Chain A
């Protein structure tokens, strides 16, 4: 038996490079979501390097926390940033991720994803290189614990479930506000404001045992009390966003 605990070895690790052209949280979330939908197994838990080399020079600021949060939300594991202008240096440093110099990675020949493919690309062809697909064969669960609130949320209070779903087992008073980046479930009466998909996830939904909200919003698309009153008032109901319309339906 050897008396050393480890050995250092050189190795080549294949990672996905996300080449950023522009950043708005909603557009980014939307594109990423579509991308991930095409090949969920592939993206689940895959390490990713975010390259800023091709970033539009007009972009002055990027909220890196949101960027990383959105990647994580869709199962990616951001591990480093690469390249980019000096002006992002401090912001990148504060994310705690590695900052690689521009030419440190040799890109794969084919882009893993193209910015706007004109024709619809089959998921299989969109995934390159081969080898990665083979190594990422087991499904890894990225698990964001749901935020659970068991007491009433009172007027003047605000609850935010960051990068997670929110469950309230009691009621939400008028004048209270609850937000979640994911879905919202309220098992008492929902009388305050509820905002799901707070960072732009249009697939988020809001459910309540008694819908009496002041405002309901999915990814910034909202509906006000007067509309709710005429439709599902005090009913068991859900709200979701589909085809650019908010749907308010009894369950």
Chain B
């Protein structure tokens, strides 16, 4: 039985797809058979970030409507043998996903995967609710600013009232907080909320803090999830988050302002 994890946020553009790609890849690197599903029908970009856009033939909607089998639509990652992607359709709208259809796909995938990562579209409406409905766990992606935190709070409310687990009255969805685009210097300058500000408002356990990093954009342009680059802080921070997701106790890094040495100061800030 696979563990179904939704990556969600409410607000758009906070790093859900970046995080889905990184965490899915990280789990596969830890020998967990993982599939990442793009629920953002109409705006697919998980395949771009994973660098497999040219190999998309069939998609999630085709599988649900019976036009293709799951095996035809799943794309195997070129780098990791345990990693698969189920891309979204670019030509359909969000109504193409039905609860029954999604449930069937998830049930089929559950049989031979360890983890199913659902990359949610932005918002709190139907599309986002479909992505989170079947989740066992949720990674709530938040930028350290007020509107993003507020939206995450709303999505947490929906997780605890409108998910399958909430409706069936079983164990609640397990919640994880992932703070992305964190910049300690801007926190000190009072331009960003601190980690404890965010934790105080949302009151869910922290899974990771990903620093603001130019490497992220570069990695997505190259179609390589940033976690594969072990020289970047963002990549290392994602690796730490994956280890915590797998139950390890890992210290936090890159959350305080780094003292720059003389050489670095002269040369300008590094990555």
Contacts and interface: CB of A to CB of B under 8 A. Distances in A.
- Are A and B a genuine interacting pair, yes or no? yes
Contacts of B124: 156
B130 to A, nearest CB: 18
Given A156-B124, A156-B154, A175-B154, 12 more contacts: A152-B203, A154-B157, A155-B150, A156-B153, A157-B157, A157-B161, A171-B203, A174-B150, A174-B153, A174-B201, A176-B157, A188-B203
Contacts of A152: 156, 203
Given A174-B150, A175-B150, A156 B203 contact: no
A66 B124 CA distance: 34
20 contacts: A151-B160, A151-B172, A154-B153, A154-B157, A154-B160, A155-B150, A155-B153, A155-B157, A156-B124, A156-B153, A156-B154, A156-B158, A157-B157, A157-B161, A173-B153, A174-B150, A174-B153, A175-B150, A176-B157, A191-B201
Best-buried of B150, B157, B172, B201 by chain A (most CB within 10 Å): B157
Q: Chain A contact residues: over half helix, strand or loop, or mixed?
A: loop
Contacts of A188: 203
Interface in A112-164: 151-157
B92 to A, nearest CB: 28
Contacts of B201: 173-174, 191
Interface string B200-243: 01010000000000000000000000000000000000000000
A170 B203 CA distance: 9
Nearest to A191: B201
Contacts of A171: 203
A2 to B, nearest CB: 49
Nearest to B159: A154
A156 B10 CA distance: 12
Interface string A170-208: 110111100000000000100100000000000000000
A99 B61 CA distance: 59
B203 A175 contact: no
Contacts of A157: 157, 161
Contacts of B154: 154-156, 175
A220 B64 CA distance: 51
A169 to B, nearest CB: 12
Nearest to A154: B157
A154 B157 CA distance: 5
Contacts of A173: 153, 201
B147 to A, nearest CB: 11
Interface string B143-166: 000000010011011101100000
B99 to A, nearest CB: 22
Nearest to B150: A155
A152 B200 CA distance: 12
B10 to A, nearest CB: 9
A171 B200 CA distance: 10
B157 to A, nearest CB: 3
A113 B201 CA distance: 52
